[in-house]
Structure 1
């Protein structure tokens, strides 16, 4: 049984082959994506068993994504298939520095969030309870909250996580274009945080949600949190974990694409949580080791294209760190 369950969206990232705006791009390359799916694959590659819970369309794209999960070693018994709604595709533009922007959901249709995609129909009643019995962690984003149907699945997953004592890890992953009414997002996301043990948030997301990007201050606002990590791209991250405060610079690498870097960081972080007693998080050296490892996983992923293919193994991460020690 998987140690970590990742619930949410799986989709195709259509990544621009050249830099520039959506109108300037002439061709696109398709890469598997979706933050929870990226985390699940990253965990499995690092050596921590994972399961993905989500919904795909009954189409070639959905079949391909499920086969990819299976070939990577991710448990797919929690994957649902919707008969009519298509699997989502997102068009991603890139800047000269490798930073990406989510531009549209289709190359020839509107990018309206209310377009019905399969990930919006994740059914709470079909969540496999048996997966939660042996798992240690549940990893969530917030995009499912944009759909009333999928939001009920999140609520059910949180109930099962509480019932079977899973730690809950959330990456905010704020994407306004996924929300029919982005103004409703703030209250829903803040309500979700009441159930969270470990929070990962970008600087911009932190300022939007909490009016501060200081992880200690965020933890004080939500004192049930056991850890807060605030990421800032090439500037690295700040953290408050096990009551240990600190920062870590980003590793300098030859970046090609930052898509999925944060998801790989999170996979590295959760992988480390699975392999260290949580009672030892009062050890500053261990906390530093966990954050350094996660930073390395994120950095390595940016050296290739797409969110999943460049993800490293544990051996590759340790070799990367050894070379920079």
Structure 2
């Protein structure tokens, strides 16, 4: 495989999805585990679209860790940056779903959030060689919640800046990972000063900026080249190189929304690498790039699980040919 053009740093885990819809955590009778974790989802979605990607993160030396690495390798994701921890377990997240299939994070089973292997990602073990060849670094924020993995994020930022990678922050706010909301907001705000692109959900945008207006957020940050704000079935808004727009979502039957935002993000990066960053200055191309990203996200919702349902570029092209926004 060629050197990864996109590096995705953060968590890989099992999303244990409730088999019964519309029930509370304690009422659920059975769960089905699906490989997930936002940065890992993005890496897999990119490879399926045809862009070489690598995942950087930590898993336990346990069977779930083995299975997750196997998933990455079977998809074709570069695993050079995966670290193993001898005692900390691989993270599993329990996810309940409402009757429409929308999900709510419901906890971590018998473990505390601080006990998992992904929190032990070691800064000094990040492979410099990956950064030398890459074009993009995609960061989540969950690892900012833990001292060791927070250092790894800051080291990755240093390497990305040194080797002149574009940096994209996927805010991915999950209160269940954090002890203190105010500390989370401060740490995320610091990272926002160092990135080129930001992707947020509508709820995250309102939480951090008191607005879901992508142009207003771009103006507030004053240092980014693009902001994407997704809002599920209500579509998305964007501001890319001063081109602002709002797109509705594609109307298709939804089975499971897990990972749709991650696939949207992968579709965006894939298209930016196809067209070149400078093309974002052209309004029509910017709109087409976000339309493509929306299609990748939509196609991911028609089957359960975040990774198994991700489309290929040919599937996206066929979908776009038959669906108009």
- TM-score between both structures, scaled by the size of structure 1: 0.97
Provide, for residues 249-287 of structure 1, a one-character-per-residue CA deviation record: whole Å limited to 9, x for no partner.
111111011010100100101111111121121111101
Which runs of structure 2 are paired with 1:65-144 in the superposition (5 Å)?
65-106=68-109, 109=110, 112-114=112-114, 116-144=115-143
Cα distance in 2, alignment partners of residues 147 and 274 from structure 1: 32
| Residue in 2 that maps onto 1:212 | 211
Cα distance in 2, alignment partners of residues 74 and 319 from structure 1: 24
Cα distance in 1, alignment partners of residues 45 and 129 from structure 2: 23
Count residues with an aligned counterpart: 321
SS at match of 1:307: coil
* Pick aligned residue for 1:7 from 9, 22, 26: 9
Cα distance in 1, alignment partners of residues 24 and 43 from structure 2: 30
| Residue in 2 that maps onto 1:35 | 38
Provide, for residues 149-187 of structure 1, a one-character-per-residue CA deviation record: whole Å limited to 9, x for no partner.
000000000000000110001110000101123331010
Which runs of structure 2 are paired with 1:127-166 in the superposition (5 Å)?
127-166=126-165
| Residue in 2 that maps onto 1:230 | 229
Cα distance in 1, alignment partners of residues 170 and 262 from structure 2: 8
Q: Check the 8 A contact 1:15/1:30 in 2, yes or no.
A: yes
Cα distance in 1, alignment partners of residues 262 and 281 from structure 2: 25
CA RMSD in angstroms comes to: 0.9
| Residue in 2 that maps onto 1:284 | 283
| Residue in 2 that maps onto 1:203 | 202
Cα distance in 2, alignment partners of residues 179 and 277 from structure 1: 36
Q: What is the Cα deviation at residue 93 of structure 1?
A: 0.6
Provide, for residues 89-132 of structure 1, a one-character-per-residue CA deviation record: whole Å limited to 9, x for no partner.
000011111110000111xx36x433x10000000000000000
Cα distance in 2, alignment partners of residues 42 and 249 from structure 1: 22
Provide, for residues 40-86 of structure 1, a one-character-per-residue CA deviation record: whole Å limited to 9, x for no partner.
00000000000000000000000010011011000000000000000
| Residue in 2 that maps onto 1:52 | 55
Q: Which runs of 5+ in 1 are unaligned?
A: none
SS at match of 1:23: helix
Cα distance in 1, alignment partners of residues 286 and 182 from structure 2: 36
Q: Check the 8 A contact 1:237/1:250 in 2, yes or no.
A: yes
Q: Which runs of 5+ in 2 are unaligned?
A: none
Q: Check the 8 A contact 1:113/1:180 in 2, yes or no.
A: no
Q: Which stretches of structure 1, 4 residues or more, deviate above 2 A after TM superposition? A: 180-183
Q: What is the Cα deviation at residue 218 of structure 1?
A: 0.5
SS at match of 1:158: helix
Q: Check the 8 A contact 1:200/1:228 in 2, yes or no.
A: yes
Cα distance in 2, alignment partners of residues 301 and 217 from structure 1: 29
Q: What is the Cα deviation at residue 298 of structure 1?
A: 0.4
- TM-score between both structures, scaled by the size of structure 2: 0.97
Cα distance in 1, alignment partners of residues 247 and 100 from structure 2: 21
SS at match of 2:27: coil
SS at match of 2:204: helix
Cα distance in 2, alignment partners of residues 282 and 193 from structure 1: 22
| Residue in 1 that maps onto 2:29 | 26
